Structure 1
Amino acid sequence: MIESVHIEDLGVIQEADLAFGPGLTALTGETGAGKTLVLTSLGLLLGQRSESTVVRPGASRALVEGTFVLTPGGRAADRAVQAGAELDGDLLIASRTVPAQGRSRAHLGGRSVPSAVLAEVGSGLVSVHGQADQLRLRSSAAQRAALDQLGGAEHARRCRDYATAFRAWREAAAALARWQEGAASRAAEAERLRAWLEELEQLDPRPGEDVALEAEAARLDHAEDLRRAVSRARGALSADEASQTVLEPDVVALAAGAERALDTAAGLDPALGDLAAQVRQIGILAADAASELGDYLASLDADPVRLSWVQDRRSALRGACQRIGGPQELEDVDALLAWGRQASARLDHLDGPQDAGSRLRADLTGARQELEQAAADLTGARQELAKQLEAAVTAELEGLQMRGARLVVELTPLAEPGPTGAETVALLLAAHPGAPALPLGKGASGGELSRIMLALEVVLAQSETDPQEAGRSGPAHGRTFVFDEVDAGVGGRAALEVGRRLARLARSHQVVVVTHLAQVAAWASTQLVVLKEVDAARDGAPTTSTRVVPVTGQDRVRELARMLSGHEDSEAALRHAAELLAEAGVAESLT
């Protein structure tokens, strides 16, 4: 619950302190006095968006500080502790500073936090309802939320289970659709790979074959040139029998002659023996080289048929590197063979996804079955909740001077399950016996919408309690409900019954109501009056400020009289105000 709120330089409020006790607090005052700013201050504490326009003219910043009483171990207390806030027993202090320029700052329990944290903590403490909520009550989503709220924590779990099943079903359907969309492209890819691999198998290239063929082609293409060059080299090293008639000596013969000369001279000078050995080695090396050149000549054959085959083979390999594998040409035969290994593995994968398709279909079937079961559970629970909500709200409407009116909860099955269930939820109003049940947007006036919303809140209040607070040690503090002119369009006896319902709700929760009706304010255990004051002109410019003061005793009677007639000193209005207070007090003690 909210214990107190301190406000500085917020709009026309220069400084104000509001003490909210347990039970029902009524916030009253003339139109335009600044009651909306009090709600704005609560909104800032609850993490709502801030604007610099709320800062009082001439001030550097607006400040709102609130003290909340929490249930130890409750959801709001746990979230505050997670954010690093420090609690003073069961008290939590939150503040929001809005500068005239720049971004706002939020603090929770002495720690700077994002405003979103205030919203998370505040959502577990306070519910704010205004005239905009009456419009939202006409939406299908708000009506479904109201029905589901009646089921409390257990039904909330059921809704989450359905949402989880629905997401799983949608994801399974999307996965199968993606697989099916890719089936045609996979088939085309497999066909291309299969054709290329068949061509590669027929070609049967060997690693490095293109390099070897290139060298062989060069030899075959220049066989005569090679023969002449090698023959001259061999003849220079060691003449064969055919060349011994040539007068030119060869290296082997020259080395032999030099060796003999040195051997003879070595008898005169032994030092020449080493040189003779070196010359002998030259002769041996020349003879070996000549022998190898002879072997090369023997293998060298100008074979036009072989050359033609080699050139055709090289052309076939180059063509395969250009065609196979896609638009980018492969570098060589080794790259072609590597592509073949990868393509074979890819084809195995493409030829085997029938198992994947079967698995995806099985997943979708299983997800659909789970969704249908979750939908059946949720629909059955909603049907029971619909009966309870119809009976409870209809009874409340009877007390709110809508005798004969009846709430109807209509559940319409959907052709296919949706994100929130297998049916739509609509709240209808039969305005009087025999009248058709019409949607709230068509069958209810503004005043009736106000009373329907209040009746719903009274009925749903029991499900608003934090489920984590059940069974906790220490005091449990009910939720805070803030109503902004929930009595709009209501008057007379109906207004008195609105006050009675708010007072009844305030027995288990803290309730704050902004009202223009004395019949409602009379039921409050605490009444705060928002007063606008215009100070004397300073330098020719008067200043306006707002105060918030509690009223008790005769001051409260005069405030109620003002609300009734506009004249706080009217004898008739004063008597009526006193009667309202007496009736509210006696009625509250009897209800």
Structure 2
Amino acid sequence: MRPRVEEVRIQGLGVIDEAVLELSPGFTVVTGETGAGKTMVVTGLGLLFGGRADPARVRPGADKTTIEGTLLVDPAGRAAQQVFDIGGEVEDGELIISRTVSAEGRSRAWLGGRTVPVGTLTYLAEELVAVHGQMDQQRLLQPGKQRAALDRYAGDELVKPLRAYEQSYKRHKQVGELLAELTTRARERAQEADVLRFGLGEIEKADPKAGEDAELKEEAERLSHADALRNAATTAHTALLGDPMSGPEAAQDAVSLVGTARSAVESVREFDPVLGGLAERLAEAGYLINDVATELAAYAESVEADPARLAAVQERRSVLTGLVRKYGADVAEVLDWARKSAARLTELDGDDDRIEELTREHDELTERLTEQAGELTRIRMGTAERFGEAVTEELTALAMPHARVSVEITKSPEFGPHGVDEVELRMAAHPAAPPLPLNKGASGGELSRVMLAIEVVFAGADPVPTFVFDEVDAGVGGKAAVEIGRRLAKLARTAQVIVVTHLPQVAAFADQHLVVEKASDGSIVRSGVVTLDREGRARELSRMLAGLEDSELGRAHAEELLSLAATAKAVV
């Protein structure tokens, strides 16, 4: 089953208050008076398939614009599978897509009942619909877009070679930029290497050890206060054990006093267990005081004033302080700086080898790119000939039998992201005219037909189920308009075609005719969409032809157009 858009509901978009579009599987036209909001129909379809949201399009007085579309899809097809992949649903082959845009500019989207990013709708649209407005015609005049159009027509033949080229080009660009950095910044990198070598030399000469700065600080404090430390230990020792050189009149030491207290308590401990416990604690205190006194004596003996060692420690601390001032907050950070700098210096010293390696890779990539770009050019040259012939053939069917479209391919001296080919579509309006760029070789009406011809050619090469055209017949009239209608009807045999038009000759070929009606109530303008029957179509075509719905001459002409279109469609 070929996917198609079955119904679209629009609320609060521009002048459209509320409208329902029931679309034909074949050729549907949308007409209406100027200002009625025909283009809003295309805008709504664009929003439904991920187009850019413009809060200025929200109807004045409305909180938001809401677009809801019902699509018929094959439950086993690619579109349905994409919906299933994001957790959405397709019921009985019907897929519901919704999009809202608030007056503040917030946009939300739903796909198969599941909230999704708007980009998901854009991705889905690539498989389902091609929307073409007047701005799309202007974009196709840009050289980059013309190259993309030719590549699209080339199809699978170009896909794999182009992907291979793009991968090589990306690496070629990276290598070139790195080479440029290495060579143009050689002086700066050499200066950086010199600074690193000097710092590493200083650190290597000093040879600092982790934690050395804290250890030296402690030793310096001890050496600077050696006399005070020794005197304090000696005084404490005397207080605890006494001075054996002192006479009997000397004050008793702590050990003696504790011993006296213990003896007093021991003599009566048998009369009270509590006092016995205190006697044991006094014994323990005596032992502890003796131990401390012994250690104080040993400490006093070990402390010596050593001016030479103190000077050496202070000198070493000065060296470490100099390193810390330059390379880190402490010795640990200095050592970390040295480790990282050594790795960076190895990298800088290897630049010459790296430059040689990169230069060799760059040359190999250049050779590969040259071959790959040549392959792309070969494919595009063959595609350009087929593309030009196909578009020219379509123009013959669009009342431009003498025009010829060709594709000019020139080579750029530099590699580009898509090759070295510069592509330009040209048109010769008649056999004696030189091929000129489209914007110079075609009038407004001719350009519209060229664009339609290109889309028809694309439809044959890379078909999508639904085409939407916004006034693709701009600047066209008469016989050319009839031929456009005929060609759109032919396209509708294999795809769903939705066209906004102001030409009755085009509208006459439609399978279904929708008219956007405008109603004014004071300062409020509202538009709605109505599906026309045969009688309504004749009235609308009469209005489009003569400006009057009830003109007898206009009605006769309208009926004639409808009959001619029906006959032509039977032959298409």
Common topology (TM > 0.5): yes
Residue 477 of structure 2: aligned partner: 491
For the pair shown, which has the larger CA radius of gyration, 1 or 2?
A: 1
Q: C-alpha distance in 2, partners of 1:110/1:147?
A: 38
Report if the CA contact (8 A) 2:137-2:451 is conserved.
yes
Q: 368-377 vs 99-108, which deviates more?
A: 99-108
Unaligned 5+ runs, structure 1: 231-236, 240-247, 250-281, 466-477
Residue 405 of structure 2: aligned partner: 407
Q: C-alpha distance in 2, partners of 1:526/1:497?
A: 18
Post-superposition offset of 1:168: 2.1
Secondary structure of the structure 2 residue equivalent to 1:414: strand
Secondary structure of the structure 2 residue equivalent to 1:124: helix
Q: 189-198 vs 392-401, which deviates more?
A: 189-198
2:113 matched to 1:110? yes
Residue 269 of structure 2: aligned partner: none
Amino acid in the other structure paired with 1:45: L
Residue 254 of structure 1: aligned partner: none
Residue 170 of structure 1: aligned partner: 173
Q: C-alpha distance in 2, partners of 1:74/1:545?
A: 39
2:504 matched to 1:501? no
Q: C-alpha distance in 2, partners of 1:341/1:55?
A: 63
Post-superposition offset of 1:518: 1.4
State which of 146, 151, 170 in structure 1 corresponds to 2:149: 146
State which of 443, 447, 450 in structure 2 corresponds to 1:452: 450
Residue 255 of structure 1: aligned partner: none
Residue 43 of structure 2: aligned partner: 40
Residue 187 of structure 1: aligned partner: 190
Report if the CA contact (8 A) 1:149-1:156 is conserved.
no
Q: How does 1:5-16 map to 2 (within 5 A)?
A: 5-16=8-19
Report if the CA contact (8 A) 2:69-2:96 is conserved.
yes
* Alpha-carbon RMSD: 4.5
2:547 matched to 1:547? no
Taking structure 1 as reference, are residues 74 and 149 closer, same or farther at Cα in structure 2, changes over 3 Å only? farther
1:256-279 superposed Cα distances (whole Å, 9 cap, x missing partner): xxxxxxxxxxxxxxxxxxxxxxxx
Q: 159-168 vs 321-330, which deviates more?
A: 321-330
Q: 120-129 vs 67-76, which deviates more?
A: 67-76
Taking structure 1 as reference, are residues 330 and 4 closer, same or farther at Cα in structure 2, changes over 3 Å only? closer
Q: C-alpha distance in 2, partners of 1:182/1:326?
A: 29
2:428 matched to 1:430? yes
Report if the CA contact (8 A) 2:226-2:305 is conserved.
no
Secondary structure of the structure 2 residue equivalent to 1:489: coil
Post-superposition offset of 1:92: 0.6
State which of 461, 475, 486 in structure 2 corresponds to 1:463: 461
Taking structure 1 as reference, are residues 402 and 301 closer, same or farther at Cα in structure 2, changes over 3 Å only? closer
Report if the CA contact (8 A) 1:172-1:367 is conserved.
no
Secondary structure of the structure 2 residue equivalent to 1:4: strand
1:349-395 superposed Cα distances (whole Å, 9 cap, x missing partner): 54344443344334433443443333222222111111111111112
Report if the CA contact (8 A) 2:391-2:454 is conserved.
yes
Residue 558 of structure 2: aligned partner: 577
Taking structure 1 as reference, are residues 484 and 106 closer, same or farther at Cα in structure 2, changes over 3 Å only? same
Residue 120 of structure 1: aligned partner: 123
Post-superposition offset of 1:416: 0.8
2:326 matched to 1:327? yes
Amino acid in the other structure paired with 1:327: K
Taking structure 1 as reference, are residues 67 and 326 closer, same or farther at Cα in structure 2, changes over 3 Å only? same
Amino acid in the other structure paired with 2:24: G
Residue 441 of structure 1: aligned partner: 439
Secondary structure of the structure 1 residue equivalent to 2:538: helix
Q: C-alpha distance in 2, partners of 1:201/1:364?
A: 39
Secondary structure of the structure 2 residue equivalent to 1:191: helix
Post-superposition offset of 1:104: 4.2
2:418 matched to 1:420? yes
Q: How many residues end up aligned between the 2 structures?
A: 525
Secondary structure of the structure 2 residue equivalent to 1:327: helix
Q: How does 1:297-446 map to 2 (within 5 A)?
A: 317=316, 320-321=319-320, 327-328=326-327, 347-446=345-444
Secondary structure of the structure 2 residue equivalent to 1:412: strand
Amino acid in the other structure paired with 1:142: K
Secondary structure of the structure 2 residue equivalent to 1:504: helix
State which of 524, 539, 545 in structure 2 corresponds to 1:558: 539
Taking structure 1 as reference, are residues 215 and 590 closer, same or farther at Cα in structure 2, changes over 3 Å only? closer
2:84 matched to 1:81? yes
Post-superposition offset of 1:396: 1.6
**TM-score of the pair, normalised by structure 2:** 0.76
Secondary structure of the structure 1 residue equivalent to 2:326: coil
Q: C-alpha distance in 2, partners of 1:507/1:494?
A: 20
2:502 matched to 1:516? yes
Secondary structure of the structure 2 residue equivalent to 1:545: strand
Q: C-alpha distance in 2, partners of 1:349/1:206?
A: 26
Report if the CA contact (8 A) 1:205-1:317 is conserved.
no
Taking structure 1 as reference, are residues 238 and 10 closer, same or farther at Cα in structure 2, changes over 3 Å only? closer
Q: Percent identity?
A: 45
Residue 275 of structure 1: aligned partner: none
1:169-222 superposed Cα distances (whole Å, 9 cap, x missing partner): 222222333444554444334434445555666778899999789979998999
Report if the CA contact (8 A) 1:76-1:122 is conserved.
no
Q: C-alpha distance in 2, partners of 1:207/1:512?
A: 79
Post-superposition offset of 1:447: 0.8
Amino acid in the other structure paired with 2:326: P
Q: C-alpha distance in 1, partners of 2:340/2:532?
A: 87
Secondary structure of the structure 1 residue equivalent to 2:170: helix
Report if the CA contact (8 A) 2:154-2:383 is conserved.
yes
2:466 matched to 1:480? yes
Q: C-alpha distance in 2, partners of 1:561/1:451?
A: 24
Post-superposition offset of 1:129: 1.1
Amino acid in the other structure paired with 2:509: W
Post-superposition offset of 1:15: 3.4
Q: 445-454 vs 17-26, which deviates more?
A: 17-26
